[in-house]
Amino acid sequence: MNNMLTIVAMLLAATFLFHSAINYMADNISDFENVALPPKKLKKTTSRFPMIKVDATSKKGWALLDFSTGKTHKIGELEKSQKLLSTLNWDIGFQRTSMITNSGETNPKGNVGVANLGSKKLEDVHEAPKDGYVQDKVKWGSLKNGALKDWYIYRTRTHNIESKKNVYVVRTQDNEYVKMRVLNYYCQQEEKNCATSMCSRDEAACITLEYMKQPSGARKFPSLPAVTDSEKQASERH
């Protein structure tokens, strides 16, 4: 009998403590709601080369990048912007996943050409090729540059975009040479985060490029300085 009373007393005490805790949380729920969650740490895209982030989010307009200044010009639909295409100084145009160049059937007065050197590190390309530069053509009713049209992988499961990390050498409008590589397609997220989960369309089409320009017009690119110990440690942390 004594054992039964002890068990009942313990159950009653536990029930009392449980309800007391629930009541305390209910009475103070606003305190929990007002505590801000810590901000999510977003890994930044880094490179030893200069980087440009191009806002290519418009579905109708284009962002025209000028490598000589690192600036972009915003224009509307191509059909309505023919004068701007021939008067502005620009090299490559971006709209979502589409890329055009200041050349060929986009702008017959343009001189830009692009050579696709395949998937490799930017530092492994030491010299611009002599020839093989592709200009824009109309194919199946759309303007395309054959060297740039397949720069990305489309993830069918998550419907996201991932750069093939190809190196492209651009012969610019000023007859100089630029080597470039697309590092990231997303505005805040890293591509590797989007490869396994759905990144919203609002996050898409902020194209991050790493590049090196040879301003003298020579085909050989300058060498990067040797990697320092601090840079090695930072790379290992990431």
Asked whether residue 62 is assigned to any structural domain, the reply reads yes
Asked whether residue 237 is assigned to any structural domain, the reply reads no
Q: What is the pLDDT of residues 136-163, one digit of tens each?
A: 999 888 899 999 999 999 988 888 899 9
Asked whether residue 213 is assigned to any structural domain, the reply reads yes
Asked whether residue 233 is assigned to any structural domain, the reply reads no
Q: How many domains does the chain have?
A: 1
- Give me the residue label for tokens 């989010």: 57
Task: Say which residues have a Cβ less than 8 Å from residue 128's Cβ, sequence separation at least 6.
Answer: 115, 169, 171, 177, 179, 214, 219, 220, 221
Asked whether residue 104 is assigned to any structural domain, the reply reads yes
- Give the pLDDT mean for 49-69: 96
Q: What is the pTM of this model?
A: 0.77
Asked whether residue 60 is assigned to any structural domain, the reply reads yes
d(CA 188, CA 178): 26
What pLDDT sits at residue 181? 97
What pLDDT sits at residue 197? 75
Asked whether residue 157 is assigned to any structural domain, the reply reads yes
Asked whether residue 45 is assigned to any structural domain, the reply reads no
The more confident residue out of 216 and 104 is 104
- Res. 195: pLDDT tops 90: no
- Res. 32: pLDDT tops 50: no
Domain range for 103: 51-220
Q: Which of 77-91, 138-152, 215-229 has the lowest mean pLDDT?
A: 215-229
